[in-house]
Structure 1
Amino acid sequence: MDKEMNYGSDYKFIPATSIGSGISIQVLPDLFCHTVQIVNIYLVGNPETNDFVLVDAGMPHSANEIIDVTEKYFGVNSRPKAIILTHGHFDHVGAIVELIEHWEMPVYAHELEIPFLTGQKSYPEPDPTVEGGMVAKMSPIFPNEPINIGRHVEKLPSNGSVPSMPGFRWIHTPGHTPGHISLFREKDGALIAGDAFVTVKQDSLYKVLTQEQEINGPPRYLTTDWKASKESVEKLASLKPEVAVTGHGLPMSGELLSESLAKLVRDFDKIAVPDFGKYIDKNIH
């Protein structure tokens, strides 16, 4: 392993999965979604030309699965031009070190996220007391120490463009983390939301296991700024996306998406914000 790069000392396999695990969906001709246990990764690009990127990097110990899926869609020994990270939580960077070593390509993230990716800063501890279900209760076992991918991570261009993703722009959608981003393409209304909102109730083990589709705010046990989260959801809803893929849950499109997003904006405090938990500002309700 590149001596410069390492995971935190609490890095480990997490025994959580859903019925969607291992399933790939072609959402658009150039957008592929694959579920690794309980989280989604995306391959974006044209399988004909082999110009593509990977968005997010899955769960711990999932590198081989991610490489296999990439080769299934883009051919043996194909490699992405870049990895774009929506944010640096363990379930979105779980295989990043092995993928950088295997593919030797740059990684891009928002500049506010870079301290969490270069060993300088830990995210706040997950909140197992938060109102919610079993996944929240499990959250203390989730890896939380910062990983370090050193010089391999670069900050996203300040003009909003996304390297090797023509047509997409990145949008700062903080709340779940300080440097969380979502990716949007105007021409067809495609949105990669990350965890700004999700399409499954991520803190309920039953819903995660069954992938019951239901729009929700960001995963509760790791979200620390609910005011910023709400503003981020409003920002994404105002784009009027036609199809959305999120960090957890199934893709959503058309009327179901627009109605669900409108409802999430309207009732954010009721739907997304937990009634109690250590990151709840008493003034938000």
Structure 2
Amino acid sequence: MKWKHVSDHAGKLEAWVVLKMSAWAVRGDDGIYIVDTGLSFMSPRLLKEAEKLGPVKGILLTHGHLDHVGGLKKLLKKRRLAVYAHEKEIPYAEGSLPYPGRKKPEKIVPAGTLTPLPEEDGELLPIAGLQPVFTPGHTPGHVCYYEPESRVMITGDLFTSKKGQLNRPIPMFTADMDQAIKSADLLREYDIDILSICHGEDVAEGNEALAQYRENMDR
């Protein structure tokens, strides 16, 4: 495992299990927020690195796939923290509904663990200055998180990357690829220096990279 500096306000833990897995710690207005938890074996190191940055105040999930919530159980045994996800993601992650393309529901997260991200008039509200962005497609309730001070967008599984360019999310795990590609356009409303990728290297000059991605997808 490797802890990587993303910006003055964010870092991420990377581990290799067939492909790169990542989880983040980000500075909010009132402390540190863990974004995704990676797989179970990643959680002790993730918590340790997050607490080096400051007091951990909560956990934000991009979505509920196992490689993003596998460390949640261990983390919650160590710290009592609120865990936020988009309301549309919760029934899939907690096993009320099967993820699109899967035959049976899976209780990846115990029922009652997740708190819906706050909304007002259908718009997601910031949490401690961190802005959630609803980007469905990879899963029904996929969310990215924007840290405005260092202009970092944590993208979960909205993209993969290769050689400094954005690529599509992994097809076999993506519920609706067309929707996922369209959701990427929503990020262009933000001033982004770094797109931080779970399964790949981070991509600099974020807005230019998003424009190139859309051009590539339209070919």
TM-score over 0.5 for the alignment? yes
The gaps in structure 2 that reach 5 residues or longer are: none
Q: What's 1:12 paired with?
A: none
Give the deviation of 1:189 after TM superposition: 2.8
Q: What's 2:107 paired with?
A: 146
Provide the aligned C-alpha RMSD in A.
2.4
Q: What's 2:143 paired with?
A: 181
Q: What's 1:281 paired with?
A: none
Report the AA paired with residue 10 of structure 2: L
Q: What's 2:170 paired with?
A: 219
Return closer, same or farther for 1:123/1:99 CA change in 2, 3 Å cut-off: same
The gaps in structure 1 that reach 5 residues or longer are: 1-21, 127-143, 201-211, 271-285
Give the deviation of 1:229 after TM superposition: 1.0
Report the AA paired with residue 125 of structure 2: S
Q: What's 2:156 paired with?
A: 194
Q: Is the radius of gyration larger for structure 1 or structure 2?
A: 1
Q: What's 1:99 paired with?
A: 75
Report the AA paired with residue 42 of structure 1: W
Matched, 1:113 2:74: no
Q: Is the 8 A contact 2:93 2:106 kept in 1?
A: no
Cα offsets for 1:212-264 (capped at 9, x unmatched): 5431121211112122112111111343422111222222222xx33332121
Q: What's 1:232 paired with?
A: 183
Q: Relative contact order, CA 8 A, sep 6+: which one is greater?
A: 1
- The structure with the greater share of residues assigned to strand is 2
**1:248-263 equivalent positions in 2, closer than 5 A:** 248-254=199-205, 257-263=206-212
Q: Is the 8 A contact 1:45 1:52 kept in 2?
A: yes
Matched, 1:29 2:8: yes
Q: What's 2:134 paired with?
A: 172
Q: What's 1:82 paired with?
A: 58
Alignment TM-score, normalising by the size of structure 2:
0.85
Q: What's 2:38 paired with?
A: 58
What CA distance in whole angstroms lies between the structure 2 residues aligned with 1:162 and 1:100? 23
Q: What is the total number of aligned residue pairs between the two structures?
A: 211
What CA distance in whole angstroms lies between the structure 2 residues aligned with 1:94 and 1:186? 28
Q: Is the 8 A contact 1:60 1:90 kept in 2?
A: no
Structure 1, 102-111 or 54-63: larger mean CA deviation: 54-63
